[in-house]
Amino acid sequence: MDISEEIRKIDIRTAYEKPIYGLGEIYEIMSIERLRGKLLKKHAAGYLYLCSNKQHSQRGLTIDDLKQAFPDEKILIWGYTDCPPWQSSPREEVNKKKYPALILYFAKFIFFILLRFEPFWTDASKAHMIYCLTEKNDRTFSVFRSKKIYSV
């Protein structure tokens, strides 16, 4: 698989969105939104690149591979995110589930609390995703448009 197909690019000021197939996607969205909020306090503009963590699931990229994907760009920060405290692995079949509103509300409340403690257990083997934040400039957009990295 081409490296550019594995990386998601979002403007740091744009909310992260993803189709929800289960509670894991809700946790992922909340984790990345927490990260975005934290990064926005220090960096007013930039592109956030997200990718599956190869050290967790044997698919995606390592943090070094992700940093090497942007040799001409100034990488401001990188790390791991989306690290739920339970054991999980990618699904072979995507089964969309319609959860009742009460369960979703309860799950979001529990995840909100868990996310406050996520930095204490986040490491390379448990995190589902890796990220890097690059400076935002006009050249960045044109360079990555040619590499076909898509925006979410």
Q: What is the pLDDT of residue 15?
A: 93
Per-residue pLDDT of 105-142, as tens digits, reads 999 999 999 999 988 888 788 888 999 999 886 554 44
Q: State what percent of residues in the chain have pLDDT above 70.
A: 80
Q: Which conformational region is residue 3 in: left (phi greater than 0), alpha (psi within -120 to 50 degrees), or beta?
A: alpha
Q: What is the pLDDT of residue 24?
A: 86
Per-residue pLDDT of 56-86, as tens digits, reads 878 888 888 888 888 888 889 999 999 888 8
Half-sphere exposure of 6 (CA within 13 A, CB side): 18
The domains of the chain are located at 3-88+96-151
* 101-121 vs 23-42: helix crossing angle, rounded to 10: 50
pTM for the complete prediction? 0.79
